[in-house]
A and B are shown apart, each in its own frame.
Chain A
């Protein structure tokens, strides 16, 4: 009985630990995509945030200063994305890809120049990191709770506020928003900035809360998984949250499944287990969630001459 409880507790904790950056990214991406700006660059934002978060925390000695720096870094990239896609009406996917590549390179270049450790930041110790608040074995630091909070907050903003109504409208029909006397540009910039805020938190989580320092490419594809979660959730906060939890749980299970022998098949190859989240994503995308309908104007620059 007790063992079962602790098993469940540990699985839940492991799931949440892995899901936290996904949830934050997915909620951020949701704001952006609801406003009609596709964000393939979540990965890059998170990476840049992780780097600046760790770098600042290690220099300043304070984890929260690091978190703030992480958010600023992600916001800078968010503004770049906005500048390219909103102001200059560039291709949103291309801009996202560029941001990912720039972040992957720049973090290492800067890391090398500043710390001369092959792109890593010094390991964070003591107050330079956010530690568990209540359950040391669970790793429940402040950002985990922020991530949990971000889901109802996102829902409430999108469904219940004026900003949310306009956000939904601008992702469906920007022309109608423009004709109603509301600035499409400013609305979209706000959405992109919200996305930067959340992606920044996710990055900070990776390097100053869950981890203890930055390592090159430390996001390892989680931005894309968050993107997939948004699609699974059909651009709705709670279902997207569910998808993130599913990925987290899958990961927790995958870790336990390695080396386990399945009767009849023998030992499951490690590689299969590692590829499982990707395969499952494809499998579900292909068959089980039905056709997910993106906001109609997503990906289309609002081209309007004045």
Chain B
């Protein structure tokens, strides 16, 4: 009845079903589709050049708004947004300063801080693991926030961190993820946090196999292995995607940058029926306290990317 929007999504490398980042967006899109019955088209690029191509192709066809998922699309979007000033774009994880672009960023370090607290409280050995994808600043931000959370809850706890690899396969190598996690368990770790895309699936599986605790990332991954999933660090890309489309549909869409932290509900920790047995009331109380302190500004979580260092 109304002049419906024609939304589109260009996913990041890794694909729609990576169980975390892209899949989060996809969940938001599905929710929008289910609610409004408006069809959404999407595209999974094979290489970086196709970002620009896909964005332009969607814009040419009159799709609007268009979500570009992931930081790597920024340069392409910068060009395309200028070419199509009447099309609305939303980019996730990066800022593109254009009048028709909405940029959504997340304070992953804040969310990671909280799951760090949870990890430190749940750990009996005082040794806590982290498995990252590739050694890039974004992943360092996760690790750094996590480490601060751990130290906050247990200054004596020790962090064991591993990166998976150096090729794009690093985001997609569950076997190696599992092996890294087992290596950390062998060294005494009993909680591990995976921030490695699809590789994380192997990490979570390894924890299940060994009866250790694991923390998921981006989407709520608690359901994957009830009983060994301590929690998940939620990065609400689903919300970002959903809201972008929804706002466009309602006519309230606005350009500009938004940084979503704990305060804005952009990041969070997950507590649901799958992990409620693992989170004792004391733990929940401490985590919630930390969360409140971060929101109020009493605790400032250092952002690795502000100075490329974790202090």
Contact = CB atoms under 8 A, between A and B. Distances in A.
Given A118-B16, A255-B162, A270-B163, A215 B186 contact: no
A220 B162 contact: no
Residue from B16, B135, B165, B183 with most neighbouring chain A CB atoms (10 Å): B183
Contacts of A117: 17
A173 interface: no
A230 B22 CA distance: 40
Contacts of A118: 15-18, 44
A260 B33 CA distance: 48
Nearest to A10: B186
Given A118-B18, A258-B162, A211 B135 contact: no
A83 B209 CA distance: 41
A48 B107 CA distance: 40
Interface in B172-198: 172-176, 178-180, 182-187, 198
Contacts of A212: 205, 209
A46 to B, nearest CB: 11
Contacts of B184: 255
A136 B198 CA distance: 25
Give the interface SS of chain B, mostly helix, strand, loop or mixed.
helix
A217 B179 contact: no
Nearest to A215: B174
Give the interface SS of chain A, mostly helix, strand, loop or mixed.
loop
Nearest to A221: B169
A137 B179 CA distance: 12
Interface in A130-145: 131, 136-137, 139
Interface string B81-93: 0000000000000
A14 B183 contact: yes
A275 interface: yes
B308 interface: no
A271 B166 contact: yes
A255 B182 CA distance: 10
Counting from the closest, the 8 A-B pairs by CB-CB distance are A118-B17, A255-B183, A118-B15, A10-B186, A117-B17, A270-B163, A212-B205, A270-B135
22 contacts: A11-B186, A14-B179, A116-B17, A118-B18, A119-B15, A136-B210, A210-B175, A210-B178, A211-B174, A211-B175, A211-B178, A211-B205, A213-B174, A215-B175, A215-B201, A218-B173, A218-B175, A220-B176, A256-B187, A259-B161, A274-B165, A275-B166
Interface of A: 10-11, 13-14, 17-18, 116-120, 123, 131, 136-137, 139, 206, 210-213, 215-218, 220, 251-252, 255-256, 258-259, 270-271, 274-275
